[in-house]
Amino acid sequence: MAVTALPVIHIRDLRKTYVVSERETGARAALKSLVHRRMQEVPAVAGISFDIAAGEIVGFLGPNGAGKTTTLKMLSGLLHPSGGEVAVLCHIPWKREKAFLRKITLVMGQRNQLVWDIPAADSFELNRAIYRIPSDVYRRSLDDLTGLLDLEPLLRKPVRNLSLGERMKCEIAAALLHRPQVVFLDEPTIGLDVSMQRRIRSFIADYNRRYGATVLLTSHYMADVEALCRRVIVIHHGRLLFDGELSGLVQRFTRHKTIVIQLQDCSVDLHAYGEIIECVDGRATLRVPKAETARVTERLLADLPLIDLTVEDPPIEEIIEQVFAQEVL
Amino acid sequence: MKGLGAIYLQQFSTTLASQLQYRAVLFIWLIGQVLEPLIYLVVWSAVSRSTGGNVGGFSAGEFSAYFILLMLINHSTFTWIMWEQEYRIRLGTFSFALLKPVHPIHSDIADNVSYKLITFPVMLLVALALSLAFHPEFHFAPWAVMAFFPALGLAFLVRFLLEWTLAMTAFWTTRVSAINQVYFVLLLFFSGQIAPLSLLPGPIQAVASILPFRWMISFPAELFLGRLTPSQALAGLAAQVAWLAGCLILMKIIWRAGLRVYSAVGA
Amino acid sequence: MRYFRLFIAFLRIGIMNELAYRANFFVQLFESVLELGTALAGLAVVFSHTDTLGGWLPNEVLALVGVYFLVGGSIRLLIQPSMERLIESVREGTLDFTLVKPEDAQFLVSIQRVEIWKLTDIFLGLAVLAIALVRLGARVGAIQLMAFAGALLAGGVIVYSFWLILATLCFWFIRVENILVIFQSMYEAGRWPMSLYPSWLRFALTFLVPIAVATTVPAQALAGRLNWQTLAGMIGLAFIISAISRIFWRFGIRRYSGASA
């Protein structure tokens, strides 16, 4: 593997452990807790390592509480790691050097940095002052983003009058005005309707193509990751389960394949061939162990008067669910 | 009615648990409630000292007694519901209260009282400490002391209802701090917290008796300190009851109107 | 210079924010007038029963009320709304956005909200102050004015630092927004001459909750009652408490970002 340049994001054995006070229920325990609090250590991130090169869009996938947001916060300097190495653009994030902060940006789904009662354009001006963006760069940036995100009709409206999707577009624009090299997106499409999700995804892809920004995107929507990321990192219980191409994820974790056949009707008994998932109007879906796929397909073709037959991978959601359920490493 | 009792009991233990969780809050509020009467206690004691004794029927020791008592009464009757309601509505959590099959006012009362169960002993200790520092003079009459307790209960109910109704203005406007401010300014002046009402000029005293504020705080204090005749005390209790009825009606009206606005706008 | 430009940027936002709610101005004016009226009425009631209060003449106490509104208005204009917003943003998680910006976080959170209509308090305070000064006669000279300005500035720093310390508590205690309530009543102590208070209370109001000093000492300066030791002490206190608040703030941020304490 050729090493071309230093990775933009570098993590080695990163850990984060939270200390929370815990308490039993009831009034007596409540009184006791006034005097003595029991602390418990909760490992949110339990030693993960990866490197991300410039210009990559990486999807960070995991169920709620997996440690995705915690990792993102450690990368953006918001959290101190409990252990391990972390470097972004050759800076140590938690030192929060101004030069570092100028090169990154953070977008959090359903959390606003825009000022509520005034038009988005005015919040943009505020960011311009804070990031000290020269006016010509700012103008160009704003024009580009307005074009890419279709912001023209939204800029003059107070943010509170915008719909959730419109607000998200403005939030993203505000975060990108200073042309950061690294973009952290924490659940950016959460709560949005499907068409808006697609808009935002295509924007992120466009932006990455145009400016070569490195994008780290966390999501629990598979669709986000499928659409944007060649590379996927799967995290669960604070541990890395998988780091590689999406197709590799499918390859490695599926034990089954799905065979979909089209018959005249559902009268034929298909139990001998595999697990029947469903049969509707003659269209039957069978689940078959991966190793058996070729053999079952042969038999189906030989035995039955098929109208059609396709072999598919199970839907990625299912794969991920299985991955989380089994924690196969 | 039994169901309501169970709700109150449950709210007690819930509030107890949550209040003890956020310990700092308990003490923060108490500080403010001690300092204010303390300031006026000091000011009026200074006044009585500079005039060499009696000011409008109050000696320095009687001022101390008045303000220390006022502190306890204010603590017993105060609410924070205006801020909480604005907060609840703004964040949309009020909708949850509306989904329950009980009028939200009950859990608010229970919350209020259970908070005070924890804090009142502390206030009592503070009152004792202040008594050591400022030497209050009390002139009891047993009947007055007995009448004090129902008066205090009525004061609590009147004040709670009025402030709860006031809190409902959050249905119409998001900036309730202005309205709250107006209320508190009026309360401060006309409930005897700046000066015993008998020290205010005559016309002002008349206004004070028409407004509800005297009946929330000042009246129980006047009663306990033996400054009222039995007939005055009786008239006062009647005024409290009248205000209670009035506030109840007002509350119902505002509540219904507010609900209509709230459900029209949505959470 | 850069800080000043950032402050102007936030000021613009604050103005625009408030202009969106034009009614607020009239509400604020009404509120301020009402509050001033109550303060003056309280003064009137007290001085209807006595000629001096702890050695202070009525017009000197009036000057104190003027300073009280001037300082109070300044707090409510910038310090209080920004600190309240800080506490909110910790709870909502939006403080993260501020921490990710390439500017000093303490500065950003301290100027983030400007409630422009609170200027009415400031103007009313100045008006009352002017009236009191006129009534006090020509005893106010250049030295008194300089001492007044110095005390005012030191007082402002003290109050801001105190507010910052209170707001920083939100990193440990969740329900800290209730601080607003105490501040109001604590600040009330500054409406009356501190010489009235017993020594333990004066100590508390100077060193534990150093708010009353911000009003009394400037008023003393104007009334010609200020000695150099008190002014120097106040300026020294301003330095000390601003250092403490800065250290505590940084400690709070470290705590918030989970650095091992």
* pLDDT number for residue A20: 77
Tell me the nearest-neighbour CA distance from C244 into chain A, angstroms. 22
Lowest mean pLDDT among A290-294, A311-315, C108-112: A311-315
pLDDT of residue B223: 92
Is the pLDDT at A32 greater than 60, yes or no? Answer: yes
Question: What is the model's pLDDT at position A111?
Answer: 84
* Residue B20 near chain A (CB below 8 Å): yes
Smallest CA–CA distance, residue B142 to chain C, in Å, is 32
User: Hey, which of A193-207, B61-75, C11-25 has the most confident mean pLDDT?
Assistant: B61-75
Domain boundary assignment for chain A? 47-250, 256-312
| pLDDT over 90, % of chain C | 36
Per residue, the 3-state secondary structure of chain B, as one string, reads CHHHHHHHHHHHHHHHHHHHHCHHHHHHHHHHHHHHHHHHHHHHHHHHHHCCCCECCECHHHHHHHHHHHHHHHHHHCCCHHHHHHHHHHHCCHHHHHHCCCCHHHHHHHHHHHHHHHHHHHHHHHHHHHHHHHCCCCCCCHHHHHHHHHHHHHHHHHHHHHHHHHHHHHHCCCCCHHHHHHHHHHHHHHCCCCCCHHHCCHHHHHHHHHCCHHHHHHHHHHHHCCCCCHHHHHHHHHHHHHHHHHHHHHHHHHHHHHHHHHHHHCC
Query: Which pLDDT value is given to residue A173?
Result: 94
Helix and strand element counts for chain A (H, E): 11, 13
Residues from chain B contacting residue C196 (CB–CB below 8 Å): 42-43, 46
Antiparallel, parallel or unpaired: β A214-219 and A57-61: parallel
> What pLDDT is attached to residue B153?
94
Quickly state the pLDDT bin for C21 (edges 50, 70, 90). confident
**What's the confidence (pLDDT) of residue C181?**
64
Least CB–CB distance from A129: residue in C6, C94, C97: C6
pLDDT of B59 higher than 80:
yes
Residue with the larger pLDDT of the pair A266 and A15: A15
- A155 min Cα distance to partner chain B (Å): 24
Chain B residues in contact with C24 (beta carbon < 8 A): 175, 178
Q: B201 contacts in C (CB within 8 Å)?
A: 45, 48
* Contact state of A27 with B21 under an 8 Å Cβ cutoff: no
Q: Angle B38-B41-B46 (CA atoms, 0-180°, nearest 5)?
A: 130
Calculate mean pLDDT across residues A12-34: 74
Q: What is the mean pLDDT of chain B?
A: 86
Return the residue in B9, B10, B19, B21 with the most chain A beta carbons within 10 A, the one to mutate for interface testing.
B21
Assembly ipTM? 0.79
pLDDT number for residue B267: 45
- Answer yes or no: is pLDDT of C136 > 60: yes
- Give the mean model confidence (pLDDT) for residues B26-45: 84
Q: What angle do CA A68, A74, A80 make, to 5 degrees?
A: 130
Q: For A133-163, write each residue's pLDDT tens digit.
A: 999 999 999 999 999 888 999 998 888 889 9
> C19 burial class (0-12, 13-18, 19+ CB within 10 angstroms)?
middle
Mean pLDDT of A179-199: 90
Using a CB–CB cutoff of 8 Å, tell me whether A27 touches chain B.
Answer: yes
Buried b (16+ CB within 10 A) or exposed e, B195-227: bbbebbeeeeeeebbeebbbbbbbbbbbbbbeb
Q: Does residue B17 register a pLDDT over 80?
A: no
Choose from B31, B33, B43, B198 for mutation: most chain C CBs within 10 A. B43
Out of C52-61, C72-81, C167-176, which region has the weakest mean confidence (pLDDT)? C167-176
Res A276: pLDDT? 84
Assigned architecture for domain A47-250: 3-Layer(aba) Sandwich (3.40)
- The per-residue pLDDT for C202 is 86
User: Between B171 and A84, whose confidence is greater?
Assistant: A84
pLDDT in the model for residue B145: 87
Least confident interval from A169-178, A190-199, B258-267, C248-257: B258-267
CATH 1.10.357 describes domain A256-312? no
In sequence order, the 6+-apart residues with CB closer than 8 A to the CB of A179 are: A137, A141, A211, A213
Give residue B31's pLDDT.
81
Q: What is residue A329's predicted lDDT score, i.e. its pLDDT?
A: 38
Q: Contact C260/A118, CB-based, under 8 Å?
A: no
pLDDT band of C227, cuts 50, 70, 90: confident
pLDDT of B55 reads 83
pLDDT tens-digit map of B66-121: 999 999 999 999 998 887 888 788 777 888 778 777 888 888 898 899 888 888 99
Whether pLDDT at C157 is above 90: yes
Chain C: residue whose CA lies nearest to A104: C100
Q: How confident is the model at residue B189 (pLDDT cuts 50, 70, 90)?
A: confident
Q: Which of the listed ranges A29-43, A136-150, B82-96, B172-186 does the model predict with the highest average pLDDT?
A: A136-150
- The mean pLDDT value for A291-309 works out to 87
pLDDT at B266: 54
| Confidence band for A328, pLDDT divided at 50, 70 and 90 | very low
Residues of C in contact with B35 (CB under 8 A): 182, 185-186, 188-189
Closest CB from B39, B51, B175 relative to C50? B51
The answer to whether C81 touches C115, Cβ cutoff 8 Å, is: yes
Q: Is the pLDDT of residue C261 over 50?
A: no
Q: Which of C10, C97, C257 sits opposite A79 (nearest CB)?
A: C257
What does the mean pLDDT of chain A come to?
Answer: 85
pLDDT for C252 beyond 50:
yes
Max mean pLDDT range (B101-105, C70-74, C201-205): C70-74
Residue of chain B with shortest Cα separation from A21: B21
Summarised one tens digit per residue, pLDDT across range C176-197 is 776 666 677 678 888 898 888 8
Rounded Cα gap, residues B50 and C258, in angstroms: 57
Give pLDDT, residue C15.
Answer: 84
